[in-house]
């Protein structure tokens, strides 16, 4: 299998995986987005955000995976450090996810090049 080339990806879609990543893996994820995205491409992902408290924290487990909270500022800083901008586009509930599902309050986020 060939290696994925720099700036060769048009779209990254990570649905309901970021809330289960450790802080280090989230940092690596953002670096990988910056490395692989084409100039006009975007990365879309769902994320559980909190308004206050630590920038990144563990809140429990789901099956064998951690469940985490992070503040928007955490993602803004990671994106800016890699030459990306981060924007929010409502909650998954706003996009039609049933309210009784645990992820309905998670946000749809987008990262793209500045």
Q: Which domain holds residue 75?
A: 9-113
Show the CA angle centred on residue 23, arms to residues 19 and 26, nearest 5°. 65
CATH number at residue 91: 3.40.50.150
- Residue 52 forms part of a structural domain: yes
Instruction: Determine, yes or no, domain membership for 3.
Output: no
Looking at the domain assignment, is residue 2 inside a domain? no
Mean pLDDT, to the nearest integer, of 81-100?
96
Whether 83 is covered by a domain: the verdict is yes
64-73 core/surface letters (b: 16 or more CB in 10 A; e: else): eeeebbbbbe
pLDDT in tens, 18-71: 999 999 999 999 999 999 999 999 999 999 999 999 999 999 998 998 999 999
d(CA 79, CA 21): 17
- Domain count for the chain, please give it: 1
Q: Which residue has the tokens 């009784």?
A: 100
Identify whether 4 is part of a domain: no
**Res 62: pLDDT:** 87
For 105, what's the count of Cα atoms within 13 Å in the CB-facing half-sphere? 7
């Amino acid at each position: 299998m060939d290696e994925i080339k720099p700036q060769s990806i048009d779209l990254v879609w990570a649905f309901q995986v970021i809330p289960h990543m450790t802080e280090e893996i989230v940092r690596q994820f953002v670096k990988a987005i910056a490395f692989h995205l084409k100039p006009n491409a975007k990365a879309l992902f769902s994320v559980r955000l909190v308004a206050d408290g630590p920038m990144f924290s563990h809140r429990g487990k789901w099956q064998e995976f951690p469940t985490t909270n992070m503040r928007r500022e955490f993602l803004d800083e990671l994106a800016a450090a890699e030459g990306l901008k981060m924007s929010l586009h409502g909650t998954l509930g706003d996009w039609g996810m049933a309210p009784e599902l645990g992820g309905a309050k998670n946000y749809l986020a987008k990262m793209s090049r500045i």
